């Protein structure tokens, strides 16, 4: 069997990829910025590689990884997060002189990475999405503010930017929600003042908030943008509770969501894996596109548990040129992310709702389902997950991050 390099080994998504491929006898090299993490501790990790942080110095990271793929015989490079994928894709042709990169070309990836491009493609395809405006400046915002149904969300077009080689990461948190015109203008001014000179004027979208349960449609497309595999889940818990990563979810099926998702990725000429996120109002069946993650997703372990082994299917497709029989999957399978995801969900639910006992009961009963990280077959990564969680909380205590993981200081503020 071949050999694969998996980045971001501290991420639970990377752990799922490492386990999937390692169980099939594929040699997995796990890479990260830290020496102690969940992926490195997995018994399915054959070799460990340390690289410079792409958050601190993008160019240094890319040069280090290029040296690695030049000197080690590898079949496939799988970038896991935006932090590693986008810098790699900027120089994909250079990387692919030595190793196959499991991601689409940079310009195709940007169609998912940039939410404004995603919305434009959805409009072309007839896929429904919330009323959305691109904001060029405060004048533009004033002109459209009366047309909106509140609340609205001020969304960055991209979650991660590199400024002078360093990272600015922006998640949608409570400060991005506005409940009337005055609130919207005030919050937008505050965001732009903080990021003045760092982000371009048209960096934010304003989007009407829509009600509904969160659904994810995960797919693998081959190099001709033909569908190889599809899986779907519904979010039961997510953190932040206003909308974030799923911490408990269940496998489901919805024909309409599948059709919309396939239409979008075909229009994008997508290659590789992606997850299309929707909000579905289960009272009136209204559907709205939220975003597309053009890489492996956090809830990947559920898909594998339910019967769609995306990492192995990706390997077979890209390296062996083989498309396996379109996999079916079990419905009603649940899986959770306990450390620290569902613990944070519980904390936030108790603090922010009046149903203080209901979340506790829900949290306790969820211990009967499988976990993304904790596994009797591969126990050691649990220690790495605990360490990563501790590191996050230390950053929160130091004021470097919010409890949601958002970096609280811009590069300029870090230099002061």
Domain membership of residue 111 (yes or no) is: no
The domain of 138 spans 131-209
Regarding whether 334 and 256 lie in a shared domain, the answer is yes
| Domain containing residue 149: CATH number | 3.30.1490.20
Q: What is residue 33's three-state secondary structure?
A: coil
Phi, psi (rounded to 5 degrees) for 61: -60, -50
| Domain containing residue 336: CATH number | 3.30.470.20
What is the tally of structural domains in the chain? 3
Regarding whether 194 and 218 lie in a shared domain, the answer is no
Cα separation, 383 vs 36, in Å, equals 9
Q: What is residue 399's three-state secondary structure?
A: coil
Asked if residues 167 and 161 have their Cβ atoms less than 8 Å apart, the reply is yes
The number of beta carbons lying within 10 Å of the beta carbon of residue 410 is: 19
Vertex 149, ends 147 and 154: CA angle to 5°? Answer: 90
pLDDT at 398: 73
**Of 209, 225, 246, which residue sits at a domain end?**
209
Domain membership of residue 54 (yes or no) is: yes
DSSP notation for 145-175: GGGPPSSEEEEES-SEEEETTEEEE----GG
Asked if residues 61 and 95 have their Cβ atoms less than 8 Å apart, the reply is no
Domain membership of residue 406 (yes or no) is: no
Regarding whether 369 and 285 lie in a shared domain, the answer is yes
pLDDT at 166: 77
Give the containing element (helix H, strand E) for 231: strand 227-239
Regarding whether 246 and 361 lie in a shared domain, the answer is yes
Regarding whether 158 and 85 lie in a shared domain, the answer is no
Regarding whether 369 and 235 lie in a shared domain, the answer is yes
**Of 209, 239, 256, which residue sits at a domain end?**
209
349: Cβ–Cβ under 8 A, 6 or more apart, which residues? Answer: 241, 355, 359
Q: Which two tokens stand for residue 220?
A: 């693998």
pLDDT at 400: 63
Regarding whether 366 and 218 lie in a shared domain, the answer is yes
| Domain containing residue 39: CATH number | 3.40.50.20
Structure confidence by residue, pLDDT tens digits, 67-109: 999 999 999 999 999 999 999 999 999 999 999 999 999 999 9
Sign of CA dihedral 9, 12, 15, 20: negative
**Of 57, 87, 103, which residue sits at a domain end?**
103
Domain membership of residue 26 (yes or no) is: yes
Residues of the chain short of pLDDT 50, as ranges, are 405, 407-416
Half-sphere exposure (CA, 13 Å, Cβ side) for 3?
12
Domain membership of residue 289 (yes or no) is: yes
Regarding whether 250 and 148 lie in a shared domain, the answer is no
pLDDT at 416: 41
Domain membership of residue 84 (yes or no) is: yes
Regarding whether 374 and 301 lie in a shared domain, the answer is yes
287: Cβ–Cβ under 8 A, 6 or more apart, which residues? Answer: 128, 212, 256, 257, 260, 278, 279, 280, 281
Domain membership of residue 364 (yes or no) is: yes
Instruction: Name the nearest CA neighbour of 44 among 16, 67, 71, 72.
Output: 16
Would you mind telling me the total number of residues written for the chain in this entry?
A: 416
Cα separation, 151 vs 156, in Å, equals 17
The number of beta carbons lying within 10 Å of the beta carbon of residue 218 is: 24
- Sheet containing strand 3-6, strands side by side: 47-50, 27-32, 3-6, 76-78, 100-101
Cα separation, 83 vs 102, in Å, equals 15
Asked if residues 45 and 22 have their Cβ atoms less than 8 Å apart, the reply is yes
Regarding whether 163 and 71 lie in a shared domain, the answer is no
Which pTM does this prediction carry? 0.93
pLDDT at 402: 61
Domain membership of residue 123 (yes or no) is: no
Helix 106-113 vs helix 255-268: angle between axes, to the nearest 10 degrees?
140
Regarding whether 227 and 308 lie in a shared domain, the answer is yes
Regarding whether 217 and 255 lie in a shared domain, the answer is yes
Cα separation, 67 vs 62, in Å, equals 9
């Amino acid at each position: 069997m071949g050999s694969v390099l998996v980045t971001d080994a501290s991420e639970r998504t990377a752990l799922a990829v490492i386990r999937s491929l390692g169980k099939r006898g594929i040699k997995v090299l796990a890479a990260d910025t830290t020496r102690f993490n969940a992926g490195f501790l997995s018994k399915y990790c054959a070799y460990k590689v340390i690289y410079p942080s792409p958050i601190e110095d993008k160019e240094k990271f890319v040069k280090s990884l290029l040296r690695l793929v030049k000197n080690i015989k590898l079949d496939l490079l799988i970038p896991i997060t935006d932090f590693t994928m986008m810098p790699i894709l900027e120089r994909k042709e250079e990387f692919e002189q030595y190793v196959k990169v499991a991601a689409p070309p940079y310009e195709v990836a940007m169609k998912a990475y940039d939410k404004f491009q995603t919305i434009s493609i959805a409009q072309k395809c007839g896929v429904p999405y919330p009323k959305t405006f691109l904001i060029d400046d405060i004048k533009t915002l004033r002109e459209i503010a009366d047309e909106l149904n509140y609340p609205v969300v001020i969304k960055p077009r991209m979650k991660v930017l590199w400024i002078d080689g360093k990272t600015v990461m922006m998640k949608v948190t409570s400060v991005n929600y506005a409940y009337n015109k005055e609130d919207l203008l005030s919050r937008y001014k505050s965001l732009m003042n903080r990021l003045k000179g760092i982000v371009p004027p048209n960096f934010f979208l304003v989007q009407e908030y829509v009600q509904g349960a969160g659904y994810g449609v995960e797919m693998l497309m081959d190099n001709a943008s033909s569908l190889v595999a599809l899986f779907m889940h519904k979010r039961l818990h997510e953190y932040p509770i206003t909308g974030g990563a799923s911490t408990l979810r269940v496998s489901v099926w919805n024909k309409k969501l599948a059709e919309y998702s396939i239409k979008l990725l075909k229009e994008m000429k997508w290659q590789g894996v992606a997850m299309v996120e929707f909000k579905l109002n289960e009272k009136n069946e209204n559907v709205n596109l939220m975003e597309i993650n053009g890489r492996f997703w956090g809830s990947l372990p559920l898909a594998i548990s339910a019967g769609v082994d995306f990492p192995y299917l990706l390997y077979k497709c890209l390296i062996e040129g083989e498309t396996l029989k379109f996999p079916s999957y079990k419905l009603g399978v649940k899986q959770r992310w306990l450390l620290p995801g569902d613990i944070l969900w519980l904390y936030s639910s108790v603090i922010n709702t009046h149903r203080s006992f209901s979340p506790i009961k829900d949290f306790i009963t969820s211990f009967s389902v499988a976990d993304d990280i904790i596994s009797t077959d591969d126990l050691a990564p649990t220690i790495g997950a605990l360490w990563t969680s501790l590191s996050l909380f230390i950053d929160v205590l130091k004021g470097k991050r919010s409890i949601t993981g958002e970096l609280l200081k811009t590069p300029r503020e870090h230099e002061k």
